[in-house]
Each structure stands twice: as C-alpha cells, then as structure tokens.
C-alpha cells in the first residue's frame, strides 16, 4: 500500500475502504473538491509538497503517508445528510482510528508504526480546534501521550491545504497556534515528562491539576489489568508471570453464571467488580483478566482501583491476524468469530494516560 517510494495507488484504489470513500460526499461549504477520496488525494499531494516532509527520514514519511491516506477513512461510516441540507461526519476521526487499526493489523504492519498512524488519524481534527477547548493545555498533553504533535501539525496543515474552502488561511493559523503551544509545553516530538508515573495518572484523572505537581504516591496495592483480543495469549501470560496472584476472570465468571459471550454482559461485569472489591479491601494485589479493548470498559476497574488507591499496571497482549484466530479456535472457551469481529470494530489499545505502567507484549 505504501512503499519507500510513495503510495501504490492502483492497489489503494482497488481496496473496498477506498471505494467507499470515492462515493462518500462531503459538505460543499467545507469541501468544494467533492468526495472523500478526491480530498484524500489532495491531502497526500499537499503533504508530499511540504518541505518539512522532505526533511523527514523514510520511516517517518511512511507513517505520515499512511496517516494522510487513512485520515478520513471513517467518513463513509459516519456521514449523514441533515434536514438543513448540511452533510456531516461527526465522530469520523475516532471511527477512522478503529478502521485503520484493523486494516493495518490484518495486513501485518509493525505494531509501533501502526499505532503511530492510528494516533494521527484519531487526533487529526484537533489542532484546528485545540485552542477552543476548555483547557487547551490539557488537550495538547492528552494528544501527546499517543501522537507526535509535530507530525500531527504537518498532517493537519496538509488536511487544510487539500481542500477547496473559504476559511483555509484561518484554519492554517489555528494549526500554527497549536504547534506553538506544543513547543511551549515541550511536547513537539515526545510526550510531556511528568515528575513521576503516579503524577501522570493523577494529572489525567484530576481536572485542574498542575502538570508540574509531584503527586504523593500513597498507593497501597497493584491491579494488573490484562487487555487484548481473545486468543492473544492473556491466560498464558498469567500462568507464566502472574500465577502467584489471585485473578478476577470474566471468562470464568461467564461460565459460573451460565452466560454466553453473545448474551448481555452486565451481570458478568457486576460480579467481577464485586470480586475485585474483596481484594481491594484486603489491599491484595490481583489480576483483572478480560479483553478490555475499549477505554470505557477499562475505566470501570481502573476507576475502582483509583478509589482504593491502587497502582495500575496494564499488560496488553497482541498476536498477528492468522495466529490470533487459530489460537482462539484452540481455546477451551473459544469466542465465536462473529463476536471477535465485533471486538475488532471498536478496538482501542491502552495508553499511558490510563496506567502507572504499560507493557506491550506483542507476539511476532
């Protein structure tokens, strides 16, 4: 799809996700150029014409090309024709990150490269609106935990230049101000250096917190939260590295309660939270073993851990596409593949915003 020499356009144009973009309309007031695919080509051209892009090394150029190619891949799934004649695609950046993650995983892209692309897709709209947020500094620091802000600004500029719209100059000024804010915060090419991991977790958990404040670490236990698709090897990891700890397993609870993976899962979650409270009250380190593939699902056990002053370590497991499906089929409690595909449609890799320690255990 993308080589050291550029984009393989015939291959891209044959892909279903590109064909969906080619027939996806955009609001002519903001996109006079027409459909999403036409806009995407213009964005790639604008990116490649930027002298700063030419100064980057080949791996960085590849990440940015992929991000430019996929930045609006979520629009076909989110585009709506409103009653007032407007065309909207609210939420397309987040959905686009899901689509990009699955697409690049299925094609065997390197984990770090893939996640760099997905972060740029996820946040590509924010540079133009960062200063309008209630707390621009916090917004920028949040973005910088997963995306390189200097690359994000390059993509956002290309996104602005790659369209036909009346407000282009104003949008470019906004992106420029985002870049200046990131430079002032020291997050142009790296996340902010918080005083400690605990300070980082407390900052993102507490509105209004000063980023420079060294939070007193009063944690009194550790929750190890497993995360990964079914068949990625979470149980094996626990057996090999965490066998000395008690485990709250949603798979085990499903079996105890007689609830199938295709049934409503709220009773399983409630039972798991109640078991977790037992260990939390005892100040006993423990493992929470579930897929935990979405931020809002992880937020429940992580919020409980925070209430009891527990440290959080997230161990994220991942296997290649073919290996994962094979390992899932060989599990004692195999997850139906229809359910597995649902997980893939809303798949969010954990980030350092959520935990004191984050370990990526990605199988080759």
- Give pLDDT tens digits for 135-145: 999 999 999 99
Q: pLDDT tens digits for 53-105?
A: 999 999 999 999 999 999 999 999 999 999 898 999 999 999 999 999 999 99
pLDDT of residue 280: 98
Confidence of residue 364 (pLDDT cuts 50, 70, 90): confident
Confidence of residue 4 (pLDDT cuts 50, 70, 90): low
Residue 311 in contact with residue 221, Cβ under 8 Å? yes
Sign of the dihedral defined by the CA atoms of residues 25, 30, 33, 36, in that order: negative
Please compute the mean of the pLDDT values over residues 99-119 and round it to a whole number: 97
What average pLDDT does the structure give for the chain? 95
Nearest 10 degrees: CA dihedral of 143, 146, 150, 154?
Answer: -90
Range list for CATH 3.40.50.300 in the chain:
222-362
Please compute the mean of the pLDDT values over residues 338-359 and round it to a whole number: 94
Residue 65 in contact with residue 49, Cβ under 8 Å? no
State the fold for domain 2-185. Answer: Hypothetical protein af1432 (1.10.3210)
Q: Kindly state the tokens that stand for 258.
A: 């007689």
Q: pLDDT tens digits for 274-320?
A: 999 999 999 999 999 999 999 999 999 999 999 999 999 999 999 99
Q: Does position 264 have pLDDT exceeding 80, yes or no?
A: yes
Q: pLDDT tens digits for 170-206?
A: 999 999 999 999 999 999 999 999 999 999 999 999 9
What span, in angstroms and rounded, lies between the C-alpha atoms of 160 and 125? Answer: 10
Q: Kindly state the tokens that stand for 210.
A: 């000063």
State the fold for domain 222-362. Answer: Rossmann fold (3.40.50)
> Lowest-confidence range among 12-26, 49-63, 259-273, 309-323?
259-273
Residue 156 in contact with residue 128, Cβ under 8 Å? yes
pLDDT of residue 311: 98
Confidence of residue 42 (pLDDT cuts 50, 70, 90): very high
Q: Which of 46, 108, 107, 106 is nearest to 71 (CA)?
A: 46
What span, in angstroms and rounded, lies between the C-alpha atoms of 364 and 358? Answer: 19
Q: Does position 222 have pLDDT exceeding 90, yes or no?
A: yes
Q: Which of 273, 270, 250 is nearest to 260 (CA)?
A: 250
pLDDT of residue 216: 96
pLDDT of residue 334: 79
Percent of the chain scored above 70 by pLDDT? 99
pLDDT of residue 262: 79
Range list for CATH 1.10.3210 in the chain:
2-185
SS3 label, residue 321: helix
Higher pLDDT, 17 or 251: 17
């Amino acid at each position: 799809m993308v080589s050291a020499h550029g984009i393989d356009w015939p291959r891209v144009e044959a892909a279903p996700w590109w064909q969906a973009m080619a027939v996806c309309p955009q609001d002519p007031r903001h996109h006079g150029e027409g459909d999403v695919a036409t806009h995407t080509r213009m964005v790639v051209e604008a990116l490649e014409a930027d002298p700063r892009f030419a100064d980057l090394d080949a791996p960085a150029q590849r990440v940015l090309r992929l991000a430019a190619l996929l930045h609006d891949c979520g629009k076909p799934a989110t585009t709506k024709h409103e009653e007032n004649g407007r065309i909207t695609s609210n939420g397309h950046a987040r959905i686009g990150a899901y689509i990009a993650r699955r697409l690049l995983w299925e094609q065997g892209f390197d984990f770090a490269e893939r996640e760099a692309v997905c972060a740029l897709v996820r946040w590509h709209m924010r540079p133009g609106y960062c200063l309008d947020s209630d707390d621009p500094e916090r917004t920028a620091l949040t973005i910088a935990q997963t995306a390189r802000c200097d690359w994000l600004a390059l993509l956002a500029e290309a996104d602005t230049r790659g369209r036909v719209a009346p407000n282009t100059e104003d949008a470019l000024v906004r992106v420029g101000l985002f870049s200046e804010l990131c430079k002032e915060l020291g997050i142009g090419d790296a996340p902010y250096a918080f005083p400690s991991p605990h300070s980082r977790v407390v900052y993102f958990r507490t509105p209004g917190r000063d980023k420079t404040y060294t939070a007193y670490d009063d944690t009194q236990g550790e929750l190890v939260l497993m995360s990964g698709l079914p068949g990625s090897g979470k149980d094996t990891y626990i057996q090999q590295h965490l066998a000395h700890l008690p485990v709250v397993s949603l798979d085990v609870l499903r079996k105890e309660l007689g609830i199938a993976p295709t049934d409503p899962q709220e009773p399983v979650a409630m039972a798991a939270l109640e078991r977790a409270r037992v260990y939390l009250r005892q100040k006993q380190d423990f493992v929470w073993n579930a897929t935990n593939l979405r931020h809002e699902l992880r937020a429940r056990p992580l919020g409980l851990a925070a209430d009891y002053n527990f440290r959080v370590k997230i161990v994220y497991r991942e296997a290649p596409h073919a290996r994962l499906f094979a390992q899932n089929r060989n599990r004692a409690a195999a997850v139906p593949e229809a359910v597995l595909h649902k997980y893939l449609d809303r798949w969010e890799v954990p980030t350092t915003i959520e935990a004191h320690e984050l370990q990526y255990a990605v199988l080759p």
